[in-house]
Amino acid sequence: MLTTTEYLGVLRREGDAFADSIARALNAPVASCEPWVGADLLWHMIEVHYSWKFITQTHLMNPADYVPRSKPDDRDLLSEYRTGLDELINVLSSLDPARSCWTWVGVQDVAWVIRRMAHETAVHAWDAHCAAGNTAEIEAALASDGIDEFVHVMVRNDIREEEGRLSGSVHLHCTDVDGEWLIVPTDASDVEVTREHAKGDCAIRGSASQLLLGLWRRIPMSSLEVIGNADVAAQFLNRTTNN
């Protein structure tokens, strides 16, 4: 994992980069978040940043107590986003990372939120860059940490009930930086995740950026190296949502 200071630095860097690219793509399709255009993604990020600022700032523990914000006029979206990013960073920087707050899974503290906001903002910055017509990679160390967060948080949270139990084990392997994980199905729809070099029913290999983007369904499975049972690999990669 990165340090709190490093995550906050990522949030600032990727948050600003998101704004710069989305400003050039407000009416452009966001292929990775269909049927959204850039303005839809921008509003989504305003809501995301506001919600976690509210949750951490108010020490919220019951999601029923959350108070959503209203959507600004379209012409104000970009300025509202930049203001909201500043406010989120200021709040997260001022709080003890160990302070408790609601999260949907895992540890319920501000540190969880800081990590989640760094990674969500980085992936959506990639979406914005693509919508603006720019190719992009996610920095390798950040991407490897993003894979770790994904398999420990998002895989468990975003399991699609209709997909049922994963039919085999999956080994993820970064080819450019440290990072290996084994995902093993358990009873019902849950999985067990360990950080280790071990043989699975399939292995999915690629650069950290490619693996992270593949997990978030930003790039197709054909962009990754799959060894072993391709059906298990496809089932695993199709188990989560992409927003």
| Every domain of the chain and the residues it spans | 4-131, 140-237
Edge-to-edge strand ranges of the sheet holding 202-206: 191-194, 180-185, 170-174, 202-206, 225-228
CB 173 within 8 A of CB 205: yes
Q: Is 119 exposed, middle or buried (0-12, 13-18, 19+ CB in 10 A)?
A: buried
The two tokens of residue 225 are 């190296």
10 φ, ψ (degrees, to nearest 5): -60, -45
CB 107 within 8 A of CB 114: no
User: CATH fold of 140-237, please?
Assistant: Nonspecific Lipid-transfer Protein; Chain A (3.30.1050)
| CA neighbours closer than 13 Å in the CB half-sphere of residue 227 | 9
Q: What is the pLDDT along the chain (243 residues), one digit of tens a residue?
A: 899 999 999 999 999 999 999 999 999 999 999 999 999 999 999 999 999 999 999 999 999 999 999 999 999 999 999 999 999 999 999 999 999 999 998 899 999 999 999 999 999 999 999 999 998 899 999 999 999 999 998 886 554 554 567 889 999 999 999 999 999 988 765 788 999 999 999 999 999 999 999 999 999 999 999 999 999 999 999 876 666
Whole-structure pTM value: 0.93
The two tokens of residue 90 are 């200021």
Count Cβ atoms below 10 Å from residue 77 Cβ, excluding itself: 21
User: CATH fold of 4-131, please?
Assistant: Four Helix Bundle (Hemerythrin (Met), subunit A) (1.20.120)
